[in-house]
Structure 1
Amino acid sequence: MTIFAVVALAAVGVGNGNASGAGDATTPRPRSTVHYPIHFDDAPTVPIRKPQPTVSYPIRFPSAKGQR
């Protein structure tokens, strides 16, 4: 068990070699390559359809007294 603990400690120590705070060292940060809003110039424009009611009469739902 002690050997396992020594090997694990050595692996953690080797894996964090640059984490000691070297002063000038800066870690590179990922930069976004996306520009919003996204436009597709060659895409055909499709008109947006508004939903139509399925019945022509209003549907009234019963409510408990004093609720509304």
Structure 2
Amino acid sequence: MPWVRDYVRSDGTPVRGHSRWAQGARREMTILAVVALAVVGMGSGGSSTGSGTTGRPQPTVRYPVKINSTTTVRQHPQPTVSYPIPWERPDGKR
């Protein structure tokens, strides 16, 4: 936006300095705003499964979380990975 300096009109009216939109900038900004609103409107529409609910995941946890206590003590931790981890046994074997 160009800056217009102070000046005096031909009829003697003083005009303070101000900024002014460049020629054609209002039209371009209006087109940009309309496109941005259309993108936001289409993007936030959400998906429907046909039953009137959105396709968002539902929570699978039920609160409060209760951990069942076991009476047996595990000698080795259970692996949580899909490949086997060899644990050393107390007798020295793998």
Normalised TM-score (structure 1): 0.36
Larger radius of gyration: 2
Normalised TM-score (structure 2): 0.29
Query: Structure with the greater relative contact order (CA < 8 A, sep ≥ 6): 1 or 2?
Result: 2
